[in-house]
Structure 1
Amino acid sequence: MLELSEKTTLTEDNNVFQFSNPQKGVDGFLQVWNNTGLTQDICMAQLPGFANRRELMPVLALYFNGVGDGSNATADFTPIPRVYITSDYQETAVLQSAIETPMIWEYNLGALAEITTWNLLT
């Protein structure tokens, strides 16, 4: 799995597509290079902080359409959940505008060095 600040290269040989082992990339970004000789659609799945061990197939997270040969798909991925306490919304409500309550907590999930499970209790 590609981690934050890593890159990988997609290649093709006799109709077999393969990603290289991840290498050090640009700090704070995920990069996938296309070296297949053709334009490819590239999807980054199971981004850091969002893996689900109960799912057999990866969850598609970022999709890049038509990445040219020799080009790359680069994602600035900074997952930061924020917690607010308010009685203004129901549990299933869709937020239509900015929350007008002070934030009480936030954390950059991309900074986690290991797989972590969090349970939020109300």
Structure 2
Amino acid sequence: MAVANNVSDGQLFAKHAELESKKALHFSFHIRRLRIQAIHNRTLTPSRFPSRVLHDMTPIVLNKLNFVSRDLGMDLELLLTFDHPSNTGIYETYYPLAFAVKKFAAEGIHRAHITYRSQLAFTKVVVSHDIIQSASTEVAVQVGQSTTLTMNNQIFHFSDPQTDPSVPKKNIQCINNSPSKEDIGVGFIEQEGDVPTSALVWHGVEHGQTLNVEFVPRLRGYINACTYRQNGLIKGPIHSSCLFDQDLSTLDKHTTWVVTYDETARSFRIDEEITSEVQHCFS
């Protein structure tokens, strides 16, 4: 009986070993199939989502500016615009917009907030009486990319931006392939999903014309310069002293700028207020 039991135990051990071997083989095959699928997915991702991959490679800069006055002593209007005079073609081929028009009262504390985000965009703007009424369509674009504006059934459309080696360094590019002259804006998207804020407008871009733009976010500020409406075209140089001139991409993420009035000298100033990081967190 002892020998019979030994033989039975041996057969049972052999069957168990065979079963374990089959399980190991199946598991190995399953792992190999998962590895092949993972490689296949990685291969497909860039071609299926090229714009998303490129977008993730481009760092986005976000700056928030706070303009404040405290018992100013005089009512004023602050005009902010991207009108740096060294830009080629300004007031000829393109116009800066009254990017922001903010009012400050003589008494009390008054604030105006400005947000800049480096996600650029082209806009097909609608201009009426030198005021941007709306943008019928827009497209986010990265430096080095090109897009084409077309019109079909009276509907404008920007093509998906593509990286193009012919685009000049630090530029974004738009080709007008719609049938007539069009007004095209350049601006930035303050928050993902928002309508772009136009900063510059090229008026009457010809059919077939290629527009190359290097956008430098150099914001300039004027006080009581003239009566400008927000989003209005600025058709010529502003005949007033520039009191604020900053490249927004070089500023800290949060900055505060104090507007003051010297009654004796009858002059305004805009100076940065230095605050701590702790204060920024609660501002």
Same fold (TM over 0.5): yes
User: Pairwise mapping of residues 18-97 of structure 1 onto structure 2 (< 5 A)?
Assistant: 18-24=157-163, 25-46=167-188, 51-53=189-191, 56-79=194-217, 96=241
Which deviations, in whole Å up to 9, do the C-alpha atoms of 1:69-90 show, x marking residues without a partner?
0002221223468xxxxxxxxx
120, 140, 144: which one pairs with 1:5?
144
Checking the alignment, whether the CA contact within 8 Å between 1:4 and 1:77 is kept in structure 2 is no
Task: Give the Cα–Cα distance (whole angstroms) in 2 for the partners of residues 65 and 93 of structure 1.
Answer: 24
Checking the alignment, whether the CA contact within 8 Å between 1:8 and 1:23 is kept in structure 2 is yes
Structure 1 gap segments, 5+ residues each: 82-91, 100-105, 110-116
Which deviations, in whole Å up to 9, do the C-alpha atoms of 1:7-63 show, x marking residues without a partner?
1100111111110111123321111110012111111121xxxx3229943211110
TM-score w.r.t. the length of structure 2 is: 0.29
Greater helix fraction, Structure 1 or Structure 2? 2
Instruction: Figure out how many residues of one structure are paired with residues of the other and give that number.
Output: 96
Checking the alignment, whether the CA contact within 8 Å between 2:186 and 2:199 is kept in structure 1 is yes
Structure 2 gap segments, 5+ residues each: 1-139, 224-239, 257-273, 275-283
Q: Which runs of 4+ in 1 moved over 4 A?
A: 92-95
Task: Give the Cα–Cα distance (whole angstroms) in 2 for the partners of residues 63 and 27 of structure 1.
Answer: 21
Checking the alignment, whether the CA contact within 8 Å between 2:149 and 2:157 is kept in structure 1 is yes
Percent identity of the aligned residues? 24
**Backbone CA RMSD of aligned residues:** 3.4
Larger mean Cα displacement after TM superposition, 65-74 or 20-29: 20-29
The residue type equivalent to 1:120 in the other structure is T
